[in-house]
Amino acid sequence: MSDATLIRWCAPTLARLKTGNLFNGDFTSREDMIREITELNRSLRRKGVVAIPLRFNAGKGLIYLYRPQLLRRDLSDPRAKALLRECGYTSTRPGACLAELVRRMRDREEFPHEIGLFLGYPPADVDGFMHHRDDYKVSGLWKVYEDEETALRTFERYRRCTREYMRRYGEGFGLDRLCVAAW
């Protein structure tokens, strides 16, 4: 998995603007994927960023890169907790929720709808997607059901971040320099 791939798909998480991102990587085997993720975690964990594998199939691995501190904050939201309970999560502790998400990702073909909570999407929009799928206000990086204005600003901030990170990467800034440390 290249640094360019990681930066292209995860810049807002690396910049500490977003809780998490998903990206696909090419790997020769499941063991190769685990080895590369272990190396990535060695370099990014001290900055407050963790990567975990969600799936591996036919040389492709789906990776979740996230900031545990932000995930804790997001999952403590009362609306997020209610959605997780509604989806059958028996605990709202971040570690337990993440373990359940990983199990669901491995056991099911389609993405669990609650995954938006793990990516930093507003709980209102995750709820809207789950219950009112066709009644969204705008579709961008996710489907927006409530605060369209804030979502549009957020979409643009994430796009600008990705452009800037890709530019800096092209100028020779490495992943370690681009990843913002947790406070």
Per residue in 94-148, pLDDT (tens digit) is 999 999 999 999 888 888 999 999 999 999 999 999 999 889 999 999 999 999 9
Spatial separation of the C-alpha atoms in residues 80 and 89, rounded to whole Å: 11
Residue 176 maps to a domain: no
Radius of gyration of the chain (CA): 16
Spatial separation of the C-alpha atoms in residues 138 and 147, rounded to whole Å: 10
Spatial separation of the C-alpha atoms in residues 44 and 66, rounded to whole Å: 10
Residue 97 maps to a domain: yes
Q: Could you tell me the two tokens for 86?
A: 């509604």
Residue 179 maps to a domain: no
Q: What is the pTM of this model?
A: 0.94
Find the domain containing 30 and state its range.
3-171
Please state the domain count of the chain: 1
Residue 76 maps to a domain: yes
Residue 180 maps to a domain: no
pLDDT in tens, 85-95: 999 999 989 99
Residue 183 maps to a domain: no
Residue 90 maps to a domain: yes
